[in-house]
Amino acid sequence: MRQSTAGSNSGGTSEEATSAALTVTRPELLDAGSDREFRRLVHNLFGFLARHEAIREGHGAYIGLVGIEYTILISIAHLAAEADVSIRTVADHLHLSGAFVTTVTKRLLAKGLVDKAMDPNDRRRLCLTVTDQGRALLRQLAPVQRQVNDVEFASLSADDFRRLSAMVQRLLDSSEQALALQRRLAAAASAERR
């Protein structure tokens, strides 16, 4: 139980002294003026993403890769089924920088899991493909991956899954805008301190 701070030097009420500032102001994100449910959502997302990251690392470890290597390998394999795959294609798909994808792709090339060839339509661009060795690793992982993924998302109905997928896409878009705003506000604050 929290001690009352009424009568302290702050001059505020006990409630004011012990409550934190709101982290959001949009009415849609508040419940009776409180941001408690918003914070719970954010912290639950953090917990889910940490567990999902651990699962991804486990998928990678099962075939001798680190999580991001596995993610880029399987992304190239799936994207190549639809069209030619470049570094930019993978970077856009995973919402990562091209430089980072290039670094990881070089490791996959060195391991013989990915191959690159000149794009016949644009000689400045490389097309990525998964080698036979890379496909063999993904086939080895698939039965375990299916079981784990089915359990991880077992709480979702088909409608839940479709709604969640659409919501996450919208959150990706708005989080990019939020990052841009945060950078502008940090730059402005830094300029004011000078």
Scanning the structure block, which residue is given the tokens 């940490």?
Answer: 50
Per the domain annotation, does 20 fall within a domain?
Answer: no
76 assigned to some structural domain: yes
> What's the pLDDT tens digit per position in 112-144?
999 998 877 777 778 999 999 999 999 999 999
Question: What angle is formed at CA 186 by the lines to CA 180 and CA 188, rounded to 5 degrees?
Answer: 105
Give domain status of residue 3, yes or no.
no
- Please write down the long-range contacts of 31-38, taking CB distance under 8 Å and 24 or more positions apart: none
In a domain, 183, yes or no: no
* Whole-structure pTM value: 0.81
Domain that holds residue 51: 41-143
Residue at 174 is within a domain: no
CATH number at residue 135: 1.10.10.10
Q: Which of 94, 166, 60 is nearest to 85 (CA)?
A: 94
Question: Structural domain tally of the chain?
Answer: 1
Residue 13 has what pLDDT?
Answer: 47
Q: What is the pLDDT of residues 169-192, one digit of tens each?
A: 999 999 999 999 999 999 999 898
Judge residue 109's burial from the number of C-beta atoms within 10 Å of its C-beta, 0-12 exposed, 13-18 middle, 19 or more buried: middle
Residue 128 resides in a domain:
yes
In a domain, 55, yes or no: yes
d(CA 66, CA 58): 8
